[in-house]
Structure 1
């Protein structure tokens, strides 16, 4: 059992990480931007004492000193789970809205821990498949050995490029920091592709749903009745498996200093639609009459063996993930 600081507490992945940390006996302090968000999360865990679950306010992770006070605690932290990073394409300024929060947020937490939290032995950072993949020239098989070759100039071209750049540069900044600064902790990065899975019932509204699950919401609301949009990429992971991977990365000594490509395997929007049609007949009229799976025959391969061998992750199937997600969306009024 360790005391963990979890950044980005109101995020989709973080909500499940809180559940997993508590289930496995850890004490959790999470960061949020407002008391309102903090209280909302606490209200989802009634009966959990403040010694086990509490929050601190961090208003803007893009500020260099944002985490300086948050890392101080009594009793002190032994691990940090850094999930705070923007994932959305509602962007007016790629540098300000995507690159700065991701990069400065990551280096900021590392600097703050080095300066003020000497008891922290491990920091687990949520990176992304976006830091691994090369959309212009896909690898035959993707693994932790691959890096997205994007440049700063390319990242400024569009929100999509900006997101891929933000994850790549933030992760590289973390590894560079460890190499140069030789801090009191080691780093683990977790690199998921598209993250699907049930929503927590206290999230704000169906309009504010996480970017990945929006495609499922749109299908069950009939927004794609005339045709299913392109999938964009073809690998997914269930958020519950991803949350467990983050927690196991704190608990497993052998994980230190490693990247983990955390993926359950293939998906497509067509495959999602077919699972919905097969398992929720009441939603069939919201979906196109003909559903095709547009996964390319020569789709890139993946190697997730490290996450299975070191972290012991056993992945949920696409069917289980989609069925549970749809049930959770219907429960909140989709």
Structure 2
């Protein structure tokens, strides 16, 4: 077989469909690989993949699968139904991804088709193959950003794509199992919270999962934690670090940063305070007048927090 021939799993990740879907298409519509390796294993050549790509585009535009398969086998584009014309997120309306991994393109195609089983399977495969940090930075985050750009440029369209993708990304991150706690004295946790009014919590969910993989204790409080609740959580947990996420400048409250920086916790005579870090694009351009570190990117954020002393310190 030529070196370019790919396995069914690799083709599925590239196209954003599940391997089960590819096998179903082969069985129902005779749109399978031209040859098999050793008579058993499917190996897809570039010509086979080109036919599948055409079928994916047509089905995303609303063409019935049987008709799309016929057109893909013949190499003749089929006409989309009137209900799909001008509204479908497939074809010329595909997400603007640029130069990305093939898995990223596959995830985007599955998301715009609202193919939830494929999205779930592709996310799990990316996490298993690349690890959480690489999967986030090179597959998941670029797809999420592309959905956001498409939504911003298309009015109210594609909101359903963002919601579906965000839900399954969140679910996949929560399935990542934390590493067993090391056999040493328990260390204070890292407290992660989105500032009041901030609903974008996926980057903090990714950070929570990545810290858990390192065996670090985490307290994740999700979106829009009220200021009073944030203060109480810091006092009660005595964290080694506090990370505040703000997606936009409208939610990046510098007065809140100053108040959190002044919190002390612990018994009288042994009071402590936490290292404070700001994360997210909302903090760009105007640093608060307190000592607070900045976190940029998941990988460097995990390394920075992992390197902190157990008792916490100013960044």
> Normalising to structure 1: TM-score of the pair?
0.30
Higher Rg: 2
- Specify which structure has the bigger relative contact order, considering alpha-carbon pairs within 8 angstroms and separated by 6 or more residues: 1
Higher helix share: 2
> Normalising to structure 2: TM-score of the pair?
0.32
